[in-house]
Amino acid sequence: MEKRTMNQKLKPMIYVACLAAYNAGYLHGQWLDAAREPAEIQEDIRAILSSSPVESGGDYAIHDYEGFGPISIHECHGVPEVSRLALLIEEHGEAFAAYVSHVGEEYATEEFFQDPYHGHWDSELAYAEHIFDELYIYQLPDNLRLYIDYEVFSRDLFLNGHYSVNAFDSGVHVFTSY
């Protein structure tokens, strides 16, 4: 079994709505690319609010989102945090979104993601077989290789310092706990 090179790329988007228009019965908003600098997103939000059918369209909310994988974006999420997550998801794909869903937004940084990430694999067992073979298989005599129980090794590996998060299509993303 091989490490999978697929890492689905997501396109994080948010739907920003004018609250004054919404409260007056109008649906006035726009889908925005969230994987941009906060100032660029804020500029688009100002344009949405200035074109509101209601005069005092000063407040906004994020009413919908897509492309963030298992991460929930709420209407009161700040633009800087949405931008940060979206930029990292765009760069690292679904693996980063899976990581965030496991550790939480407040702990999810690029540095803390890259160090423990071991890639996308068909299964925990496929990863364990790879690790065992890389570290030990060539040190064993041929007649002993038949006795290796990869399933037990995999179980122990994932009970003691490794974890996986299911990938969106299939397989798992493997991480080391520190």
How many CA atoms, within 13 angstroms, populate the side-chain half-sphere of residue 21? Answer: 21
- Contact (CB, 8 A) for 63 and 18: no
> What is residue 170's predicted lDDT score, i.e. its pLDDT?
83
Q: Which domains does the chain have, with CATH numbers?
A: 10-114 (3.10.20.480), 116-178 (1.10.10)
Question: What are the strands of the beta sheet with 172-176, ordered from one edge?
Answer: 3-4, 117-121, 172-176, 162-166
Please write the tens of the pLDDT for every residue from 53-65: 988 767 999 999 9
| 3-class SS string, 151-165 | HHHHHHHHHCCEEEE
Closest CA to 103 of 52, 156, 165: 165
How many Å apart are CA 63 and CA 65, to the nearest integer? 7
> Which portions of the chain are predicted below pLDDT 70?
1-9, 57, 178
Q: What are phi and psi of 63, to 5 degrees?
A: -95, -15
- Contact (CB, 8 A) for 56 and 22: no
> What is residue 178's predicted lDDT score, i.e. its pLDDT?
67
Question: What does pTM read for this prediction?
Answer: 0.80
Please write the tens of the pLDDT for every residue from 49-95: 999 998 876 799 999 999 998 899 998 889 999 999 999 999 998 89
- Contact (CB, 8 A) for 32 and 14: yes
> What is residue 57's predicted lDDT score, i.e. its pLDDT?
66
How many Å apart are CA 5 and CA 168, to the nearest integer? 14
